[in-house]
A and B are shown apart, each in its own frame.
Chain A
């Protein structure tokens, strides 16, 4: 029998102790950072804690939502390094549709569909070519940015490296509904994770492709499915990312975005080699990284140092966590 019929308790009972510790660590860490930001904003007449908090969804929604998609892919033992340039292509399609006078809804849908299609295409390539996902998507990282520039240059005669989005209606998702969209997507993802079989299949594949094969599952099909599911999330992230910008610049947009997303996923306790992790961890990982950055801002740390420290934080947190549980892991290994 499961330890309880309560779905929340059941959810956490399915999470490995390592990940549970990480979730607790991040939860406490986020609370402390929020407390620090609260103290700083209270002491500063020009800042407001509520205003600070209300900005979180706008900045964080694309990272969290793309992270949720990538978490499923990493669960299954895959990875997608090209998520940033998929967003660039999706943004370019958005810009082209805008340039051709399409309605905001059509632009949003076109942007979303492009991201879903390219992520699914990555999944198809990984499955059919049998080449490591890291190689396929590393190639995609370069290829898709080039593709975006070619598309923009070919389909927009007056394209000069950037396209300005002037009308507010085309920025509604990010400017007005980012918080709601983020909340709905996160809740949907957690419910899907708690009640669905999909993410458990991804985890099973990440743990042991051979076990899945012997059990009669189709590893290639499951891995491809993880890219499709990841694409559904990435599409939403792309819409929020693109509609938060005044100018769409395929050559410069979303630089390093994939690293922020991977950082959040790994910090959240998801094993980069697959088979272990949670969606909730990714949400907390992204929030923790964001809050660290904001806390350093209030502490007066220079921008150069902030970037370096944010990278060091990922290593430090994971290293600290591993050190705490090294003894247990050693014993597990020896069982």
Chain B
């Protein structure tokens, strides 16, 4: 029987009745019903693979349901295409940013709409840019509308995407992980706009793995697990613990495990006055064996750029680096790997994985010992090592031949980590390793990182999730505009202080909130 959950608010604008979706007979969403009132914000949470994206795709016209009805504003609708959903008043911000990279910001903002025409029938470019500028300004964004999208940073692209969706006169707004690339001030700005839209009667579905955001912005929370609607809660009446229990089906005791002894060894990685023009300057730091050093900062602070320079993707202009006491100047990533330094990149899909490859191929690409000197792969050894990696890292898949692109984000990330660690590197740099990863997988990844440090590896840990950064790190370096603003540890290591330092402001004696 479909589960029925009614929103307490009046005048439901969206009604899902017995909606279900399956792919090749495998149910992605089991029949369920849900109502959403005008002017309310529904949080949608669940682990990766729980069915959140499928539900969003049904509502945005990318998929069609196998059963059930969708009613919007009293009209029963069947969205044959995204156009039909847009015309019905549904605007969606998808998790995976999709944009025309070589087209301008203005063109992307108005893609799919009619463009202003000149007297002679051609595009009135001036009006087009004016219109785009107006839409950006309405959301407090100041970007050149004539810049092509590929000239923007990830955060700016996300902002353009959000501005495009918010500027549509939508009755239902769906946001899927909208803050993945945003810094704290940008998140605040987004929430401000959502509150205004809510006051205008727009119904909003907000999907996020960040439970603090869910608790802050939503009225009610719906939990999906394995394609089933497990429960809906009034936000004010539920705790994070209950929510996590509903999501993973088990209590999650240790989100930030700390099994390591805390004893630190020799300095593994040391940087002195490392500078690269336009990216970072005068960076000095050291990471000891068994230590997790967190790196915080706003988007664009230079954290990832620094990590890539250490990994040898581009050289520094000045300054020195040493690894295990030896001068460290890798020519490229291959040299870095051979030297015992591993970097897990920020954008796993674009920079870390070949999505069409099988899990076996994706893992064994990093297994140096499976091939002999002639490059001939020992298949049995490969199979054994892949099986061991799947078990040790708890990578959930149908088998080693499953395409890695079809795994959930958490399992992709675990595979990416498992791939390189067989080489037993002494130093590991992790760049946003839990971005877009569900809470269960996040806890698993944290446990792996803790074990790595416990085994005497040096870990440089970049994250925008402050709770995670504070929970996992022994100390945190806060970057601002390409430099290390401050180092925080012990009682000074609080979210409040990290945010102040990342914004270039002096610390205060605010009460600790995180450690």
Instruction: List chain A positions with a Cβ less than 8 A from chain B.
Output: 1-3, 5, 7, 10, 13-14, 16, 191, 194-197, 200, 203-204, 207-208, 210-218, 275-276, 330-332, 334-335
Contact = CB atoms under 8 A, between A and B. Distances in A.
Interface in B67-109: 81-83, 86-87, 92, 94, 98-104, 107-108
A132 to B, nearest CB: 16
Contact of B62 (A208, A211, A213): A213
Question: Which of A16, A203, A214, A218 counts the most chain B CB atoms within 10 A?
Answer: A214
Given A2-B125, A208-B100, A214 B92 contact: yes
A208 B112 CA distance: 13
Interface stretch (B147-155, B231-239, B446-454): B147-155
Given A216-B112, A217-B111, A275 B123 contact: no
Given A2-B129, A216-B112, A218-B83, A14 B104 contact: yes
Interface string B469-501: 000000000000000000000000000000000
A332 B150 contact: yes
Contacts of A216: 81-83, 86-87, 112
Instruction: Report the 8 A-B pairs with minimum CB-CB distance, sorted nearest first.
Output: A195-B122, A215-B112, A207-B100, A211-B98, A216-B83, A216-B112, A204-B100, A215-B111
A207 B313 contact: no
22 contacts: A1-B130, A2-B125, A3-B146, A5-B126, A10-B146, A13-B146, A14-B148, A16-B148, A203-B100, A208-B100, A211-B100, A211-B108, A211-B111, A214-B92, A214-B94, A215-B112, A275-B100, A330-B313, A330-B314, A334-B351, A335-B153, A335-B154
Q: Give the interface size class of chain B.
A: 35 or more
Contacts of B92: 214
B145 interface: yes
Given A214-B82, A215-B111, A218-B81, A2 B126 contact: yes
Interface in B418-471: none
B112 A217 contact: yes
B362 interface: no
A182 B225 CA distance: 63
B48 interface: no
Nearest to B85: A216
B182 to A, nearest CB: 16
Find the residue from A10, A194, A208, A275 having the highest chain B CB count within 10 A.
Answer: A208
Given A200-B103, A334-B314, 18 more contacts: A1-B133, A2-B129, A13-B146, A16-B102, A194-B122, A196-B122, A200-B123, A203-B103, A204-B107, A208-B100, A211-B99, A217-B112, A218-B83, A275-B102, A330-B313, A330-B314, A331-B314, A334-B351
B23 interface: no
Nearest to B111: A215
A275 B150 CA distance: 12
Contacts of B101: 207-208, 275
A13 B103 CA distance: 11
Contacts of A194: 122
A156 B393 CA distance: 74
A217 B153 CA distance: 25
B118 interface: yes
Contact of B146 (A2, A196, A197, A208): A2
A315 B115 CA distance: 38
Q: Of residues B60, B120, B126, which shows the largest number of chain A Cβ atoms within 10 Å of its Cβ?
A: B126
A184 B73 CA distance: 53
A248 B352 CA distance: 55
Contact of B102 (A1, A213, A276): A276
Contacts of A7: 125
A288 to B, nearest CB: 23
A204 B290 CA distance: 49
A208 B98 contact: yes
Contacts of B314: 330-331, 334
Contacts of B146: 1-3, 10, 13-14
B193 interface: no
A19 to B, nearest CB: 9
A175 to B, nearest CB: 34
A299 to B, nearest CB: 38
Contacts of A214: 60, 62, 82, 92, 94, 98
Contacts of B148: 14, 16
Interface string B118-146: 10101101100110010000000000011
Contacts of A330: 313-314
B308 interface: yes
A303 B37 CA distance: 76
Contacts of A2: 125-126, 129, 145-146
B107 A200 contact: yes
A3 B103 CA distance: 15
B93 to A, nearest CB: 10
Nearest to A209: B98
B356 to A, nearest CB: 16
Contacts of A191: 122
Contacts of A14: 103-104, 146, 148
A265 B497 CA distance: 56
A212 B112 contact: yes
Contacts of A276: 102
A204 B110 CA distance: 12
Contacts of B87: 216
Contacts of A5: 126
Most buried by B among A191, A204, A330, A332: A204
Contacts of B99: 207-208, 211
Contacts of B112: 212, 215-217
Given A207-B102, A216-B82, A1 B145 contact: yes
Contacts of B83: 216-218
Contact of B82 (A196, A204, A208, A215): A215
Nearest to B117: A197
A174 to B, nearest CB: 31
Given A3-B146, A334-B308, A212 B103 contact: no
B35 to A, nearest CB: 26
Contact of A213 (B82, B108, B115, B125): B82
Contacts of B129: 1-2
Contacts of B120: 195
A60 B163 CA distance: 46
A2 B153 CA distance: 20
A3 B108 CA distance: 17
Contacts of A196: 122-123
A147 to B, nearest CB: 35
